[in-house]
Amino acid sequence: MGRPLRIQDPSYCYFVTNRCFQERFFLTPTPEINALILGWLARSAKRYNVKIFFFLFMSNHFHMAVRAPHENLHNFMGYFQCNLAHDVNRLLKRTGSLFERRYSAEPMLDDDAMMAKWRYTMTNPVEANLVSHVRFWPGESSYQAHLDQTPISAVWTDRDKLRAMRRRKSHNPDDEVLADQHIELHLAPLPFLEDHTPAQRARFFKRSLSAHTRVLTKHRNEHDQKILGALNIRTQSPFDRPKNPTRSPRPLCHTRCTIRRNTYRKLVREITEAYRAANALWREGLLPTFPPGTIPPGWSCTTSAPDITPPYSSTSASSVQ
For residues 208-217, give the mean pLDDT: 91
For residues 185-207, give the mean pLDDT: 93
> pLDDT at position 305, please?
67
Question: Is residue 130's pLDDT more than 60?
Answer: yes
Question: Is residue 153's pLDDT more than 60?
Answer: yes
Question: Is residue 213 domain-shared with residue 199, that is, in the same domain?
Answer: yes
In Å, what is the CA distance from 97 to each residue of 28, 76, 103, 250?
A: 16, 18, 13, 21
The answer as to whether 7 is a domain residue is: no
Strand 152-157 and strand 104-108: the pairing is unpaired
DSSP string, 106-163: EEE-SHHHHHHHHHHHHTHHHHTTS-SSGGG--S-BSHHHHHHT-PEEEEEE-HHHHH
Neighbours of 167 (CB within 10 A): 8
For residues 152-176, give the mean pLDDT: 84
SS3 182: strand
- Give the pLDDT band of residue 240 (cuts 50, 70, 90): very high
The answer as to whether 140 is a domain residue is: yes
> pLDDT at position 314, please?
35
Q: Which residue has the higher pLDDT, 318 or 276?
A: 276
Question: Is residue 200 domain-shared with residue 85, that is, in the same domain?
Answer: yes
Question: Is residue 317's pLDDT more than 50?
Answer: no
The answer as to whether 104 is a domain residue is: yes
SS3 172: coil
- Give the pLDDT band of residue 37 (cuts 50, 70, 90): very high
Neighbours of 306 (CB within 10 A): 11
Which one, of 282, 252, 284, 104, lies nearest residue 303 by Cα? 282
Domain that holds residue 59: 13-256
> pLDDT at position 319, please?
35
Asked whether the beta carbons of 66 and 72 are under 8 A apart, the reply is no
> pLDDT at position 161, please?
84
For residues 126-146, give the mean pLDDT: 94
The answer as to whether 313 is a domain residue is: yes
Question: Is residue 156 domain-shared with residue 295, that is, in the same domain?
Answer: no
Question: Is residue 228 domain-shared with residue 292, that is, in the same domain?
Answer: no
Question: Is residue 230 domain-shared with residue 311, that is, in the same domain?
Answer: no
For residues 74-97, give the mean pLDDT: 95
For residues 128-151, give the mean pLDDT: 93
> pLDDT at position 315, please?
36
Asked whether the beta carbons of 50 and 68 are under 8 A apart, the reply is yes
> pLDDT at position 299, please?
87
For residues 131-144, give the mean pLDDT: 94
The answer as to whether 269 is a domain residue is: yes
> Which of the residue ranges 67-76, 106-115, 160-169 would you say has the lowest mean pLDDT?
160-169
> pLDDT at position 311, please?
43
Question: Is residue 287 domain-shared with residue 177, that is, in the same domain?
Answer: no
Question: Is residue 309's pLDDT more than 60?
Answer: no
Question: Is residue 291 domain-shared with residue 156, that is, in the same domain?
Answer: no
Compute the mean pLDDT over every residue in the chain, rounded to the nearest whole number.
90
> pLDDT at position 307, please?
53
Question: Is residue 321's pLDDT more than 50?
Answer: no
Number of domains the chain contains: 2
For residues 50-77, give the mean pLDDT: 96
For residues 148-175, give the mean pLDDT: 85
Last residue of a domain, one of 210, 231, 256: 256
Last residue of a domain, one of 209, 232, 256: 256
The fraction of the chain above a pLDDT of 70, given in percent, is: 94
- Give the pLDDT band of residue 176 (cuts 50, 70, 90): confident
> pLDDT at position 243, please?
86
Question: Is residue 304 domain-shared with residue 222, that is, in the same domain?
Answer: no
Question: Is residue 108 domain-shared with residue 228, that is, in the same domain?
Answer: yes
Instruction: Check which CATH number belongs to the domain holding 137 and give it.
Output: 3.30.70.1290
The answer as to whether 1 is a domain residue is: no
Backbone dihedral angles phi then psi of residue 308, each to the nearest 5 degrees: -135, 130
Last residue of a domain, one of 228, 256, 284: 256
For residues 57-82, give the mean pLDDT: 96
From CA 122, how far away is CA 119, in angstroms rounded?
Answer: 5
Question: Is residue 67 domain-shared with residue 209, that is, in the same domain?
Answer: yes
The answer as to whether 72 is a domain residue is: yes
Which one, of 291, 279, 289, lies nearest residue 317 by Cα? 279
- Give the pLDDT band of residue 1 (cuts 50, 70, 90): very low
From CA 321, how far away is CA 303, in angstroms rounded?
Answer: 13
Backbone dihedral angles phi then psi of residue 106, each to the nearest 5 degrees: -115, 135
Question: Is residue 26 domain-shared with residue 130, that is, in the same domain?
Answer: yes
For residues 45-74, give the mean pLDDT: 96
Question: Is residue 179 domain-shared with residue 283, that is, in the same domain?
Answer: no
From CA 17, how far away is CA 250, in angstroms rounded?
Answer: 10
The answer as to whether 244 is a domain residue is: yes
Tell me, what amino acid is at 108?
M
